[in-house]
Amino acid sequence: MSNEMDQLRNQLDEVNLEILELINNRAALVQQVGQVKNKQSMYRFDPIREREMLNLITSKNNGPFENSTIEHIFKEIFKAGLELQEDDHRKALLVSRKKKAENTIVEIKGEKVGDGKTHFVFGPCSVESYEQTAAVAKSLQSKGLKLLRGGAFKPRTSPYDFQGLGLEGLQILRKVADEYDLAVISEIVNPAHIEQAVEYLDVIQIGARNMQNFELLKAAGEVNKPVLLKRGLSATISEFINAAEYIMSRGNGNIILCERGIRTYETATRNTLDISAVPVLKQETHLPVMVDVTHSTGRRDLLLPTAKAAIAVGADGVMAEVHPDPAVALSDSAQQMDIPTFDKFFEEIIEVDRRLKN
């Protein structure tokens, strides 16, 4: 009895190995078909051909498997073959670690974002006037900081909210940045504005609400200017990475990713800071990753703890909003830091940074 069982099992093993060999023979043929299709730029998946193959197979099926079972098994084999034909497109995005193992370093006015040190971006939510922007710039300069942010085009939730100074805002930013030896980061919302904006900006920001504005992403990919791409309000990490791919696929690989919180059911904070997105993005891509603590929390009292978390988790930079008089700010007045708060925040965060990165 046990001898009979052994024999049957041996036969099964042999059949398994035969099936294995046949499946791999089939895969090799499928790869050849894929190459021919590539040359003729044909679509890889041909449903009519697949149906013909299934019909032929089931017409010769003598059981004991039902036709539906046979179809199911063969469809899985077909699917695996089709995946073999895909030339690793999804698996090796230009922004992926698989494509490039070493970190991308985005250089902005001597700041090498992605070099392993922590870089800081501060500035008002919106540029409101020369004086307001200059007051923040002066504070940055006194701290030896180089990266000034400020919104000129503000895509606001309500069309009746302050929409920004537009071109005039960019001009103020450029003037202030030159006077205080800073680099300027500002959001552009319209693909048609990109060309003009590069005259004023050192970094083009693509905001959360525009993360999947594909025409804007493509336009930003066609200029020779670093891009700071924020994660969309409800974007998955995969969608975020693909948005960056839109930029890089057009030739511009100088991209900084910025986690700025996502929408969840939680209401204690303005958004939910997805802190684990930082190491995920660092693993999946070679791009530097920043954390915007202002928009993710919407709370001044959480800026410091979340900035600490960002550094601890491996972020390349921290972004926060600073306004000389937040109470009268035209946007985000609840969470911008005034200058004395900023002084204290910065003092503490560089101390934490020193401890963590020593």
Which residue ranges make up the site for Mn ion (CB under 5 A)? 125, 332
For Mn ion, the closer CB: 125 or 185: 125
Instruction: Give least dist CB 332 to Mn ion, A.
Output: 4
Distance CA 308, CA 199 (A): 35
Residue nearest to Mn ion (CB): 125
Distance CA 158, CA 146 (A): 32
> Cis link prior to 159 (omega < 30° from 0)?
no
For Mn ion, the closer CB: 22 or 334: 334
From the DSSP assignment, how many helices (H) and strands (E) are in the chain?
Answer: 12, 10
For Mn ion, the closer CB: 95 or 322: 322
HEC sequence for 255-304: EEEEECCECCCCCCCCCECCCCHHHHHHHHECCCEEEEHHHHHCCHHHHH
Q: Which of 126, 254, 110 is nearest to 182 (CA)?
A: 110
For Mn ion, the closer CB: 246 or 345: 345
Instruction: Give least dist CB 331 to Mn ion, A.
Output: 6
The enclosing H or E element of 106 equals strand 106-108
For Mn ion, the closer CB: 30 or 320: 320
Instruction: Give least dist CB 149 to Mn ion, A.
Output: 9
Instruction: Give least dist CB 166 to Mn ion, A.
Output: 16
DSSP-derived letter for residue 192 is G
Residue type, position 24, single letter: N
Instruction: Give least dist CB 207 to Mn ion, A.
Output: 9
For residue 37, the cross-strand partners are none
Instruction: Give least dist CB 240 to Mn ion, A.
Output: 19
Distance CA 1, CA 7 (A): 10
For Mn ion, the closer CB: 93 or 319: 319
For Mn ion, the closer CB: 119 or 230: 230
Q: Is 8 helix (H, G, I), strand (E, B) or coil?
A: helix
For Mn ion, the closer CB: 96 or 205: 205
Instruction: Give least dist CB 34 to Mn ion, A.
Output: 49
Residue whose token pair is 């090498």: 112
Torsion of CA 232, 236, 239, 240, to 10 degrees: 50
Q: In sequence order, which residues have a C-beta less than 8 Å from that of residue 135 and are 6 or more positions away?
A: 324, 339
The enclosing H or E element of 130 equals helix 130-142
What are the structure tokens assigned to 268, written together? 């204690």
Instruction: Give least dist CB 126 to Mn ion, A.
Output: 7
Instruction: Give least dist CB 336 to Mn ion, A.
Output: 7
Q: In sequence order, which residues have a C-beta less than 8 Å from that of residue 179 and are 6 or more positions away?
A: 134, 137
For Mn ion, the closer CB: 108 or 125: 125
The enclosing H or E element of 195 equals helix 194-197
